[in-house]
């Protein structure tokens, strides 16, 4: 869903674009332009930066963030925020690994069980926001703390000892199609489903509508509370599924597995042009934002920037994009 008449910075940029690009969201164009710039800078630093193997590895790393960003985008389109990402990711990873320890049946059910745990947390978030009218920032922060406490109690404060199931490892590191990692294929499937839902279903139109003006959607006969509940449940599923993939990638879960994904997920969605107040954004922009953040992480890692510096950069990116795209048109 795009603006009928871009204003301010968007209008000036829109007028300077070539004809074929004027129909595209300027934020998406900027994000892809920044990707090309980072690739150029990386190639100047290392000749291997543009090699097929390196780029495919970066796509593989981006796929974990991409699955999380899918759920994050859905929530932001509603005009809400989900701060429970870190421990929903960790819960999905730890519960899937725990299930894998119970024989063959446990291995078979490990992936769906991990995702189910994320759905349950998402339902709690959605119920608090939609039916109890608690601000999403508060309820998701609370559920994040509760999930953390439950996982610490489960492990006794020690690192989880359970290993990922073969299915989890195959999803994260295997190759169903030669040359294309399964993790990337999973992201493609999740992304295609997200595009279909957002552009071809009444649910997707309701999500955009609620982000623009919830009262108008409610008066049109849509059960907005149910839409919000389902959206948070889907976000929880995406976060937990990403945790399952991460556990498969590392062969085991870790308590802090999701800590590094909250700000990058929000930054990726905002960088892609999704309005932080809801109602506007495209999944193509989110894809661009995820790839941009992943390449930025890679360059910062090569430059040996510590985690505090990375978080500072992510926060600055969000603030800058808010200044450029986050203000409502007059």
Residue 7 scores a pLDDT above 60: no
d(CA 20, CA 10): 16
Residue with structure tokens 């508060």?
A: 138
Q: Of 184 and 48, which is predicted with more confidence?
A: 184
Element (H, E) at 236: helix 224-250
Give the ranges where 131-181 is alpha helix by DSSP (H): 136-155, 166-173
Structure tokens at 101: 């320890």
Over 50: is that where the pLDDT of 3 sits?
no
Q: What is the mean pLDDT of the chain?
A: 88
The band of 99, judged by pLDDT with boundaries at 50, 70 and 90, is very high
Instruction: Assess whether pLDDT exceeds 90 at residue 317.
Output: no
pLDDT of the residue at 25 = 75
pLDDT score of 4 = 40
pLDDT in tens, 217-258: 999 999 999 999 999 999 999 999 999 999 999 999 988 899
State the pLDDT confidence band at 129, using cuts at 50, 70 and 90: very high
Q: Quote the CA–CA distance of 264 and 87 in Å, as a whole number.
A: 15
- Looking at per-residue pLDDT, the higher value among 56 and 298 belongs to 56
- CB distance 59 to 117 below 8 Å: no
Instruction: Parse the chain into domains and list their residue ranges.
Output: 51-258
Q: Which of 60-64, 198-202, 315-319 has the lowest mean pLDDT?
A: 315-319
Q: What angle do CA 264, 321, 203 make, to 5 degrees?
A: 70
* pLDDT reported for residue 5: 42
Beta-ladder partners of 177? 180
The pTM for the full model equals 0.89
Contact between 274 and 3 under an 8 Å Cβ cutoff? The reply is no
Flag whether pLDDT at 2 surpasses 50. Answer: no
Answer yes or no: is pLDDT of 189 > 90: yes
Cα angle vertex 118, ends 263, 83, to 5°? 25
* DSSP secondary structure of 198-220: HHHSHHHHHHHHHHHHHHHHHHT
Q: Where are the beta strands (DSSP E) in the chain?
A: none
């Amino acid at each position: 869903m795009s603006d009928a008449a871009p204003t301010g910075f968007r209008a000036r940029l829109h007028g300077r674009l070539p004809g074929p690009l004027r129909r595209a969201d300027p934020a998406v164009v900027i994000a892809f332009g920044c990707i090309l710039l980072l690739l150029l800078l990386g190639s100047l630093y290392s000749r291997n930066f543009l090699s097929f193997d390196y780029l495919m590895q970066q796509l593989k790393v981006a796929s974990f963030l991409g699955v999380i960003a899918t759920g994050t985008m859905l929530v932001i389109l509603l005009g809400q925020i989900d701060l429970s990402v870190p421990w929903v990711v960790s819960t999905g990873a730890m519960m899937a690994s725990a299930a894998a320890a119970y024989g063959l049946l446990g291995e078979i059910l490990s992936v769906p069980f991990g995702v189910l745990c994320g759905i349950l947390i998402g339902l709690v978030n959605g119920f608090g926001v939609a039916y109890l009218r608690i601000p999403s920032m508060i309820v998701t922060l609370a559920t994040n703390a509760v999930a953390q406490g439950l996982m610490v109690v489960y492990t006794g404060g020690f690192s989880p000892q359970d290993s990922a199931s073969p299915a989890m490892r195959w999803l994260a590191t295997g190759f169903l199609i030669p040359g294309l990692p399964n993790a990337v294929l999973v992201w493609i499937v999740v992304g295609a489903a997200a595009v279909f839902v957002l552009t071809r279903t009444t649910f997707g139109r309701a999500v955009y509508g609620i982000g623009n003006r919830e009262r108008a959607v409610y008066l049109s006969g849509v059960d907005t509370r149910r839409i919000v509940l389902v959206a948070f449940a889907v976000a929880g599923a995406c976060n937990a599924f990403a945790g399952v993939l991460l556990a498969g990638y590392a062969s085991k879960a870790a308590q802090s597995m999701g800590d590094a994904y909250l700000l990058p997920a929000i930054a990726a969605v905002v960088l892609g042009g999704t309005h932080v107040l809801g109602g506007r954004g495209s999944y193509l922009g989110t894809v661009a934002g995820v790839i941009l953040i992943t390449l930025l992480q890679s360059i910062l890692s090569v430059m040996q920037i510590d985690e505090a510096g990375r978080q500072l950069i992510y926060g600055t990116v969000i603030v800058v994009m808010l200044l450029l795209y986050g203000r409502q048109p007059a």
